[in-house]
Structure formats: C-alpha cells, structure tokens
Amino acid sequence: MFKCIPFARCNRHVESIDKRHQNLTSFPDDIVRYYRTLEELLLDSNQLHELPKGFYKLTQLRKLDISDNEIEKLSHEIGNFVNLVEFDCNRNDIQEIPDSIRYCRSLQILDISNNPLQSLPAGLTHLRALTELTLNDLSLPYLPDDIGSLANLRSLQGRDNLLKCIPDSLCSLAKLETLDLGSNEIEQIPGLIGKLHNLKVLWLDLNQLKQIPAEIGALKKLQYLELSENMLETVPDEICGCVQLTDLNLAQNSIEFLPATIGQLANLSILKLEQNQLVVLTATIGHCLQLTELVLTENLLSELPDTIGNLKQMTNLNVDRNRLSRVPDSICGCESLGLLFLRDNQLSCLPDELGSLKKLKVLDVSGNRLASLPTSLASANLNAIWLAENQATGKIKLTADFDEQAKKEVLTCYLLPQQNYHTPSMENLLQGSINTAENQSQNGFVKHNSSNELVKQATSESVRFAPESDTEDKPYVSKV
C-alpha cells in the first residue's frame, strides 16, 4: 500500500509503504526511489534475509518495522536514520546491533527482542529520547550499568533473559511507568527501587527472589505487582504503602502468612496466593473491600477468617486443596460471589444459608467429607455443582431428606455422603508439604479441572432438582 501526496509533475512523493505479510524474500528495489519523502515503511512478517545498500538511503524514515523476518545483519549505516522515531526488528536472526545506532537520536520506541545477540551496543544508552525499550528473549546476562542515562524511558521490558541483578542506575529512571524483568535469574530487588515514583506496573515473576525490600512501599503509583514463582517467604509490612495497588500476584512462593497491613490496600481487586505455605489468612483481608478475586489454592489453611464476609464485591473465591474443616457462615455476606471453589478440603458441612448467594453460579465441593447439602441450595441459581472427582456433569438431581442427628432438613443425592477420599495433592497437604511440579509428577499427581474449565462447563449446564411429578415444569426438590 502506498500513500501519496500529489504534486504537479511529480509521482514520487510517497510517505508510507505497507508490504506486510506478502511473503517477500527480497527487498523491493522500487521502494528506494521514494527516499526523499518516505517516512513509514512496514515490512514485517515476510521472509527477508538481507537489506540492500539502497535501503540505508531512506533517511527520512520515521517509522520502520522489519520484525518477523529472517534478517541476519544490520549495516553500520543504520546510523543514517537520524529521523527515525520507531524501530522494530524483533524476531529476526540479527547477531549484532551496530554501535552506530547511537546516531539515531530521534528514536523513541525500540524493540530488538528475539534475536541471537551476543551483547547490547554501547551506543544504546546514548539514545536519550527513548521512551520504550524492549529487550525480551535475548539471553542477556546483564543490563548496561549506565541504563539510567535513558532518562525519558517510560517502559522497559527485559523478559526471558539471564539477568542476575538489577543495576542501581535503573532505579534513577524517574519517568519509568512499566518495568518487566520476569523470567530471569534475579536474586534481589535493590532498595533503590523505591525511587521509581512513577512506576505503575512491575513484573518480576519467574526469578529467584527471596525477599521484597521494605522500600517497595514507596511506590505510591504502583497498580500491578507480579512476583509469582519466586522463593519469597514473607511480605513486608510496608506493602501497605502501595496505595494504588489493584493486582497482586504472589503465587508459587513459600509465603506462610500475610502482614496485617495488607488490609490497608483499599484499591486491591485481585489477590493471587496459590501454591504457598499459608497457615492462616489475616483477618484484615476483610478490609480490602474492592477485592473481586481471591485465589488461595494449595495452601495449608484450616479456616477462613469471619471477616471474609465483608468482601461484598468478591466474585471468585478459590480455596481448593487446603485443610479447611469449616466455612464461616459470614461467607453468605459475599453477595457478589459467583464462583466458589472448595475442592479437596476436610469439610463436613456447609453454611446453612449458602443458597442465599443469589449470584452463585458454580460451587465445587468435591473431595470433602460432606454427608448432605443445606436446603437453601434448592433456591440457589446454580449452573453447576461438583461433588465428586469423577463426576461427569454439573447437573445434579437433589432430593430433600431429614438429618436425624442434626435435627434439620437437608439435601442429598447419589453422590452423598462423600467418601473419605483425597487426591494425591490433598494427601501432600495433610502431611504439611507442597510438592514441586517435578515431585508431583513422580508421585502420580492428579491434575484437576481448572477453574476456567469449570466455568466453561457451567455456562451450558444447570443444577437439576428432581420434580415431584412429570407434570411439573418448575424444578424443585422432591421429598423422600
């Protein structure tokens, strides 16, 4: 596609050329004729192997995209592109970025990810106009010590590398809003991280972090914090300083408890803590009134705090594979709750008024010790209820019965009472240990349906209550 501005007696005033997804194997020579006016050139998703000498005459270029090709080399003449503002060369076979790129002083957005680079050019940190720098999947062992000289950076991505540390100078990037250094080998977050006062998004998942510095609390604008799959054992009290935090992911660590100050995160919406070593959940969690999703799967919790009922906005609660012996009656106060997962615990009963949760669509209580269900579930608007590991469908016929021991009416079905059966993952929890994925594989770990799978099934299924007669259309519980 060519975008032209017509001039009398001129047919070469082309500003933009789009040659994406055209299976090109060589650079189109006719493009060079527009070297005086061409400002945008899109050649991504082709099969280009090299760029000819004439390509480097396109010195008026402001946007250049050669990503997703098979280009092996960039000439030192890349420095000719002094007007270039955006340059994307990711997903190629480039082994070296010429140091002459330092002369592309207008560059604001640069992506050199997914190339077999040996190192970064020294001239990279001379690009002082850069606002976005993407360095993903380059096998980089370190970032430049003087990366802090890129004073205008707002986004820095360096995922899937071999980084072991964060240079102190990075913490002087006062305008930085997004920092993604996930999937590296970083062992420590520098205390200077607190100087990144404009940081909104921080990804440090899949590293080797053992602690979070107290200075994290100085990040007053932080909204998203991703620290899953590290080696964390504690969360500092100072986390409460992240007053704008909405998403906190601490999954797959070794955390035993949360600080009481977590309750001061008034804007927290999503909290993920699956696969940790939590023995108790702080009662102050009930102060996080904006919480919509709480994931506590595979921990060592024996109870939930009564304050859980304060979470009126919560739509998803997952406490699968813990040690719960009871669910507090206060959970019936979670009026927005739509998904409740309590699989593989030690529950012998459920709250009598659980069915009062009018928005509850999916209830998973398989792998427990339930003898019956509360009668309030007869009026619930459930789409699916799961009572057994090998249950094929969420459609369950429930019948009314009378519990002589408890002296009250209950609901039952052919899947009740539940057997004292635990999956291998549950047995590990009862022994006070959570195996790694490798150990789980060796011990014959049984993978359960994920929450997403349950939700998907729930959309097309409903709980069916046995009708009293064939003439009745309205479902209700039959009496026995």
pLDDT tens figures, 127-177: 999 999 999 999 999 999 999 999 999 999 999 999 999 999 999 999 999
Q: Residue 406: its pLDDT value, please?
A: 86
CA-based torsion, 252, 258, 263, 264: positive or negative: negative
Per the domain annotation, does 147 fall within a domain?
Answer: no
Per the domain annotation, does 142 fall within a domain?
Answer: no
Per the domain annotation, does 138 fall within a domain?
Answer: no
Residue 72 shares a structural domain with residue 192: no
Residue 102 shares a structural domain with residue 162: no
* CA–CA gap between residue 319 and residue 301 (Å, rounded): 9
Residue 87 domain boundaries: 1-130
Which of 264, 263, 309 lies closest to 284, judged by CA? 263
CATH of the domain at 227: 3.80.10.10
Q: Residue 395: its pLDDT value, please?
A: 87
* CA–CA gap between residue 154 and residue 133 (Å, rounded): 9
Residue 352 shares a structural domain with residue 474: yes
Per the domain annotation, does 457 fall within a domain?
Answer: yes
Per the domain annotation, does 139 fall within a domain?
Answer: no
CATH of the domain at 344: 3.80.10
Per the domain annotation, does 143 fall within a domain?
Answer: no
Residue 279 shares a structural domain with residue 301: no
386 is written with which tokens? 């799961």
Select from 283, 318, 342 the last residue of a domain: 283
Residue 69 shares a structural domain with residue 186: no
Residue 433 shares a structural domain with residue 307: yes
Q: Residue 351: its pLDDT value, please?
A: 98
Residue 173 shares a structural domain with residue 210: yes
Select from 283, 310, 332 the last residue of a domain: 283
Sequence-separated (6 or more) residues with CB below 8 Å from residue 150: 125, 127, 128, 130, 133, 173
**Cβ 68 vs Cβ 48: under 8 Å:** no
Cα–Cα distances in angstroms (integers) from residue 304 to residues 16, 80, 149, 166, 343, in the given order? 60, 64, 49, 38, 15
Residue 434 shares a structural domain with residue 314: yes
Select from 98, 130, 162 the last residue of a domain: 130
Residue 218 shares a structural domain with residue 276: yes
Q: How many domains does the chain have?
A: 3
Q: Residue 477: its pLDDT value, please?
A: 44
Residue 84 shares a structural domain with residue 175: no
Q: Residue 420: its pLDDT value, please?
A: 59
Per the domain annotation, does 107 fall within a domain?
Answer: yes
Residue 336 shares a structural domain with residue 450: yes
Q: Residue 431: its pLDDT value, please?
A: 53
In 155-181, which positions are buried (b, 16+ CB within 10 angstroms) versus exposed (e)? bbbbbbbebebbbebbbbbeebbbbbb
Per the domain annotation, does 96 fall within a domain?
Answer: yes
* CA–CA gap between residue 215 and residue 427 (Å, rounded): 39
Which parts of the chain register pLDDT below 50? 1-10, 421-422, 425-426, 429-430, 432-462, 464-480
Residue 56 shares a structural domain with residue 114: yes
